[in-house]
Structure 1
Amino acid sequence: MRRQGKGGAIVVIGGCGFIGSNLADRLLADGENVTVVDNLSRRGVERNLAWLRERHGRRLRADIIDVRDSHALRPILSDAKAVFHFAAQTAVTTSLADPVEDFEVNARGTLNVLEAVRAAGGDIPVIFASTNKVYGALADLETSHAEGRYWPLDGTIRSHGINETRPLDFSTPYGCSKGVADQYVLDYAKSYGLRTAVLRMSCIYGPRQFGTEDQGWVAHFLIQALAERPITIYGDGRQVRDILHVSDAVHAYRAVLADIDRLRGQAFNLGGGPSNAVSLNLVLDLIAELADRRPQVHRAEPRPGDQRYFVADTTRLRDAVGWQAQIGWRSGIEDLARWLADSAPRGLPERFVA
Structure 2
Amino acid sequence: MKTIIVTGSAGLIGSESVRFFADKGFRVVGIDNDMRAQFFGKSASTEWNRDLLKNQYGHLYQHYNLDIRDRTEIEKLFKEYSTDINLIIHAAAQPSHEWAAKDPHTDFTVNANGTLNLLEATRQFCPNSVFIFTSTNKVYGDTPNYLPLKELETRWDIEPSHQYNDGIDESMTIDNSKHSLFGASKVAADILVQEYGKYFGLKTASFRGGCLTGPFHSGTQLHGFLAYLMKCTIMGEPYTIFGYKGKQVRDNIHSYDLVNAFYHFYQSPRTGEVYNIGGSRYSHCSMMEAISLCEKIVGKKLQYAYAENNRIGDHVWYVSDVRKFAAHYPEWKYKYNLVKILEEMYSSQVSRL
Normalising by structure 2, report the TM-score: 0.92
Aligned match for 2:119, one of 111, 114, 123: 114
Matched, 1:24 2:28: no
- After superposition, give the CA deviation of every residue in 1:214-247 in whole Å (9 maximum; x if it has no partner): 1111000011111110111111110001111111
Tell me the distance in 2 between the aligned counterparts of 1:69 and 1:49.
21
Match of 1:280 in 2: 287
Tell me the distance in 2 between the aligned counterparts of 1:336 and 1:179.
30
Match of 1:265 in 2: 272
Tell me by how many angstroms 1:158 deviates: 5.4
Provide structure 1 residue ranges, at least 5 long, that are not aligned to the other structure.
1-6, 345-354
Tell me by how many angstroms 1:28 deviates: 0.6
Tell me by how many angstroms 1:157 deviates: 4.5
- After superposition, give the CA deviation of every residue in 1:277-313 in whole Å (9 maximum; x if it has no partner): 2001000001111221111111111010000000000
Aligned match for 1:82, one of 79, 82, 87: 87
Tell me the distance in 1 between the aligned counterparts of 2:105 and 2:96.
13
Aligned match for 2:258, one of 220, 226, 249: 249
Tell me the distance in 1 between the aligned counterparts of 2:333 and 2:119.
29
Q: Is the 8 A contact 2:145 2:317 kept in 1?
A: no
Match of 2:165 in 1: 159
Tell me the distance in 1 between the aligned counterparts of 2:313 and 2:298.
31
Matched residue pairs, number? 336
Tell me the distance in 2 between the aligned counterparts of 1:139 and 1:16.
33
- After superposition, give the CA deviation of every residue in 1:123-169 in whole Å (9 maximum; x if it has no partner): 22110000000111123212111131001126244531000011114
Tell me the distance in 2 between the aligned counterparts of 1:150 and 1:96.
27
Instruction: Give the share of equivalent positions with the same residue, in percent.
Output: 30
Tell me by how many angstroms 1:30 deviates: 1.0
SS of 1:302's partner is coil
Pairwise mapping of residues 136-285 of structure 1 onto structure 2 (< 5 A)? 136-137=141-142, 138-153=144-159, 155-157=161-163, 159-169=165-175, 171-235=179-243, 236-260=245-269, 263-285=270-292
Amino acid at match of 2:24: D
Match of 1:67 in 2: 68
Amino acid at match of 1:206: G
Amino acid at match of 2:92: A
Deviating beyond 4 angstroms after TM superposition, the runs of 4 or more aligned structure 1 residues are: none
Q: Is the 8 A contact 1:35 1:62 kept in 2?
A: yes
Q: Is the 8 A contact 1:159 1:274 kept in 2?
A: no
Tell me the distance in 2 between the aligned counterparts of 1:245 and 1:56.
22
Q: 1:68 to 1:277 in 2, by over 3 A?
A: same
Amino acid at match of 1:315: R
Tell me the distance in 1 between the aligned counterparts of 2:247 and 2:281.
15
SS of 2:112's partner is helix
Amino acid at match of 1:253: F
- After superposition, give the CA deviation of every residue in 1:16-38 in whole Å (9 maximum; x if it has no partner): 11111011011111111110001
Tell me by how many angstroms 1:8 deviates: 5.6
SS of 1:307's partner is coil
CA RMSD for the aligned pairs?
A: 1.3
Q: 1:289 to 1:154 in 2, by over 3 A?
A: closer
Pairwise mapping of residues 36-75 of structure 1 onto structure 2 (< 5 A)? 36-42=30-36, 43-75=44-76
Tell me the distance in 2 between the aligned counterparts of 1:68 and 1:34.
20
Tell me by how many angstroms 1:276 deviates: 1.3
Normalising by structure 1, report the TM-score: 0.92
Q: Is the 8 A contact 1:243 1:272 kept in 2?
A: yes
